[in-house]
Structure 1
């Protein structure tokens, strides 16, 4: 979907169109005007089956996550930073790449993981970087770009990548050609603030963006962020990537999509009258 200001939006099917079962959300997204979709967990479904849903709905797969463990387990956010889990990390990464290839996904998000009790941050971070170095080499030539996301500690206590700078440093150290930053505007605002300045500084290593509005992680315009300023920042930087709509609709998905015309159009008008 192209917003009025030209920015390209995709629907996160974990969060949007939850009024219908998962496999029906592809058609719902297409009917709403989306041309791309993302979701964290494709693995309960055979990849060819999901590929058919994409094809039938005329949708492009933008992003999936690498496999993660069950909620409530030490592996719930992946094993990338867990000492002694390198074999599982590699097997999960291989599975993620297989799904990404079958679905034609642009990006595979490799979650940073939750630092386990008794493991200091430096050790967990060293494990993470070593695993990512292997992953970047493994993904090279596949056409799938790996991305890393910083998450706020209110929603994700103990998450290893808890600042944008920490995630961006890994991207820069391992090479932005095969690795990028997944910048979630919601996590950035909750954890760090200074949103526009941080966004400007990090855009050179950003591969993908996700949006939601604090404090309730609902659609843009329902919370505290000045979205026209955010969108103008992206337009000024000639950002051409996707923007994932990863938010919890406040009053139903279809009704909530009015923000796209209202806020994206506002950004365009603000630019038009700027000196």
Structure 2
């Protein structure tokens, strides 16, 4: 049976981030993941996670200068020093809260810069993976769709798989976000089967609404059954934007997955 984690960037967002930990536990989640919790002192977050016996999966690296349009630094050729500083911050925070993974965001790249961006991305991933390995952590990379994130460097599963191959680090893994992949490419089950050995984490949301996964064009019951049949041992992150109060929309857990 699938194991589901609550993404506290989107779920329970009607309360302060640290209070979302207790809310997730009260709804039966055993693991959580986060976007950018850096404004919460890491020791406070670790204490909250421990108090509610929650496994902390992963968090995103800082994106750079968000008001200026940044959404990640790893593939930006002129920003390596900023990337290294962001990595230090993410690894320090992640280690303190005992996270198992860091999502390394590639960033927004112009078409003319893509060749240099790929070289930069691979080099930065190698460095990040080496440092993360010292803390027994994984580096995740995630293809994102052009509709939500125009110009994002990493757009396709196959592109991510090729970059992981070139980086040659065993602790670089693919974050397979069904929402993004369905919008950009589709054929989810085939791609899951093809790239299962590279998948470090799965995320879900309805397409096209990004709401609870009980509506839209993706048959998540089949996705969950496929992952079970393939022996997937990781977590499935509920990274969706609730239609209303998070607690009122969790019926999909039992409806789609067989979870009691």
User: Does the TM-score normalized on the shorter chain lie above 0.5?
Assistant: yes
Greater mean alpha carbon deviation, residues 168-177 or residues 106-115: 168-177
Matches within 5 A, 1:154-169: 154-169=147-162
Query: Aligned-residue CA RMSD in angstroms?
Result: 1.6
2:178 corresponds to 1:214? no
- Residue 173 of structure 1 aligns with which residue? 166
Is the partner of 2:218 in helix, strand or coil? coil
Residue 65 of structure 1: aligned partner: 60
Contact 1:176–1:205, Cα closer than 8 Å, also in 2: no
- In structure 2, the CA distance between the partners of 1:118 and 1:228, relative to structure 1 (3 Å rule), is closer
| 1:15-69: CA deviation from partner (whole Å, max 9, x where unpaired) | 1112222221111110000111111102112211111111122211111011112
Conserved 8 A contact 2:122-2:166: no
1:257 to 247, 250, 257: 250
Aligned residues of 2:176 and 2:199 also touching (Cα < 8 A): yes
Matched, 1:50 2:50: no
Q: How does 1:196-235 map to 2 (within 5 A)?
A: 196-235=189-228
Q: TM-score, normalised by structure 1?
A: 0.90
| 1:93 to 2:87 alignment | yes
Residue aligning to 1:269: none
Q: Report how far residue 146 of structure 1 moved.
A: 0.5
Q: Shift of the alpha carbon at 1:108?
A: 0.5
Return closer, same or farther for 1:118/1:145 CA change in 2, 3 Å cut-off.
closer
In 2, distance between residues paired with 1:119 and 1:94?
Answer: 29
**1:21 is matched with which residue?**
16
Of 185-194 and 222-231, the range deviating more from structure 2 = 222-231
Structure 2: how far apart are the matches of 1:23 and 1:137? 30
Kindly provide the CA deviation profile for residues 141-193 of structure 1, in whole angstroms up to 9, marking residues without a partner as x: 31111110000000000000011111111122223521100110000001101
Question: Could you tell me whether the CA contact under 8 Å between 1:37 and 1:59 is conserved in 2?
Answer: yes
Select the residue among 2, 13, 29 that pairs with 1:7.
2
- Per the TM alignment, residue 228 of structure 1 is displaced from its structure 2 partner at its CA by 1.5
Q: Which residue of 2 aligns with 1:272?
A: none
What are structure 2's unaligned runs of at least 5 residues? none
1:195 aligns with 2:188: yes
Deviation beyond 6 Å, 4+ runs, structure 1:
none
| SS in structure 1 at match of 2:57 | strand
- Partner Cα distance (1:145, 1:251) in 2: 33
Aligned length: 260
Q: 2 CA distance for matches of 1:90 and 1:51?
A: 24
Match of 1:150 among 143, 148, 163: 143
Q: Secondary structure at the match of 1:229?
A: helix
